[in-house]
Amino acid sequence: MKYKVFVDGEAGTTGLEIRSRLSSRDDIELLQISPELHRDRDERQRLLNAADICFLCLPDDAARESASLVTNPNTRIIDASTAHRTNPDWTYGWPEMSKEQRKKIASSKRVAVPGCHATGFNAAVYPLIAGGIMPTDYPVVVTSVSGYSGGGKKLIAQYEDTRRGDPEMQSPRYYALTLHHKHLPEMMKINSLRYEPVFTPLVANFYRGMIVTLPINRRLLSKDMDAHAVWEYYSEYYKGERFIKVMPFGGEDCLNGGYLGAQGCNGTNRLEIFVFGHDDQILVMSRLDNLGKGASGAAVQCMNIMLGIDEGTGLAE
């Protein structure tokens, strides 16, 4: 049996990545829209309702519009935008959150894929909250560095064309300095946090890959655990998960001369958890491909779950 799949917004970075992951699969029939009709509302509506699964790889307002065009009760939607991530009528597309979440995704008609920064953040924070280790009023501070592909076509063009060679583009650059990043609402809601994290993202001069960093003070935890105990907890929490790997404590055999790069998961749907620290301080780091587990890979993983097939189909570990 072939499933009909339509990617609305296939020319964008995430849309192209999803099509790439699906194009060689013999169980998928990709519905194609003519380039001259990609803004034609009627044609898009026809394809959206002809699909078994449709991916929305669009700006938020356009994603809401496309979702509203789906009237076929059998069409299932996976939204890669920010538009529906905190909407209670949509299922949050992070299967590793819990066994129950995977079941919810499997039965859902509307799934919102997490943001890339939020994915790395959730992977570190959610288990600690769920286990009563980190209190919900913990003063969370988090930093994330990612490749420039996360900024979409305009930012990619700056790094690769219009501002290539500009000295300012050569060093990592902070952004979202108003402290109102668009991923914060889902980071708060999914983790039941009482206060917004202080979140400082950076973009750097490499195409893809990211690391999300969470520093923790032991004295502020609800349970008295040192860095090694936290590492043991993550190892047990994610035991058996296919795409989340808890790496050796302290990054043993994973560091290059004492350095940890952001591109180690590129081309995969893998997310790696690292734990560093000592008796008083703990550092948790999530490494992932912002276009893989942080976007298109996660979307395809959710599709596989929704279709009831092996969730790793077409995805690299």
pLDDT at 36: 87
CATH architecture of the domain formed by 116-290: 2-Layer Sandwich (3.30)
Question: Greater confidence, 37 or 179?
Answer: 179
What's the CA gap between 308 and 112, in Å, rounded? 18
Q: CB neighbours (10 Å) of residue 53? A: 23
> Residues 57, 116, 265, 302: which is the catalytic one?
116
pLDDT 10s digits, 174-186: 999 999 999 999 9
For the domain spanning 3-113+294-307, the CATH number is 3.40.50.720
Domain span(s) for CATH 3.30.360.10 in the chain: 116-290
> How large is the average pLDDT for residues 272-299?
97
Q: Is the dihedral of CA 248, 140, 104, 75 positive or negative?
A: negative
Instruction: Choose among 263, 293, 287: nearest CA to 17.
Output: 293
**Cα four-point dihedral sign 102, 123, 229, 254:** positive
pLDDT band, residue 64 (cuts 50/70/90): very high
- Tell whether the torsion through CA atoms of 124, 130, 135 and 139 is positive or negative: positive
Q: pLDDT tens digits, residue range 207-216?
A: 999 999 999 9
Among 148, 275, 121, 283, residue whose Cα is nearest residue 202: 148
Residue range(s) of every CATH 3.40.50.720 domain in the chain: 3-113+294-307
Q: What is the mean pLDDT of residues 93-112?
A: 97
Q: Is 148 in contact with 204 (CB distance < 8 Å)?
A: yes
Q: What is the residue-averaged pLDDT of the chain?
A: 96
What pairing do the DSSP bridges indicate for beta strands 271-277 and 244-246? parallel
Residue 245, beta-bridge partner list = 272
Q: Could you tell me which residues are beta bridge partners of residue 287?
A: 211, 272
Q: From the CA atom positions of the chain, what is the Rg in Å?
A: 20
Angle at 299 between CA 295 and CA 300, to 5 degrees: 120
pTM of the model: 0.96
Q: Is 116 a catalytic residue?
A: yes
